[in-house]
Structure 1
Amino acid sequence: MTHEETKMIMRTAVPLAREMKGDWNIRMSMALKSVMIDHYFTKTLSKQVIQFLLAKGVSYRRICKHYGVYRHQLNGLLK
């Protein structure tokens, strides 16, 4: 991830965290996770993107629905 992408993600996450209620650290981590997932969904489908999304807790079903592929096709990319 480039420096410009990181700055863009933080500029999006901070206002989102300010809208939430509760502890700042928890709000910021939730907002940052959400913005990062949205950012990676804009990228093309690749092994690294799939691994990152799965590590962040995104389900196979959501990835398949977003990219319009079947699960066996995702598993084929991960091998």
Structure 2
Amino acid sequence: MMKISPHVVLTKSEDAAVLLEKKSGTYFRINPIGTAVFEMLAAGRTQVEIVSELCSRHPAAADRIPGDVAKLIDTMRRAKVLV
């Protein structure tokens, strides 16, 4: 099960958000879809559930969503946002 590191802070703005991993100082900006993925992960949703939810919200992008979510989750793991 993926969990958000307790050392991660999310700061949202109108059009994006910034994730900061406080131990390393690593941060990166995520778009609204990335923010939705982060928030669903924080709520305990699985990758499959997240992909399903996003595909139902954005059917025109359903072919790209699984790969995009997988890449974002991999990036979050490498940045130690997910533990």
TM value normalised by structure 1? 0.35
TM value normalised by structure 2? 0.33
Higher relative contact order (CA 8 A, sep 6+): 2
Question: Larger radius of gyration, structure 1 or 2?
Answer: 1
Larger strand percent: 2
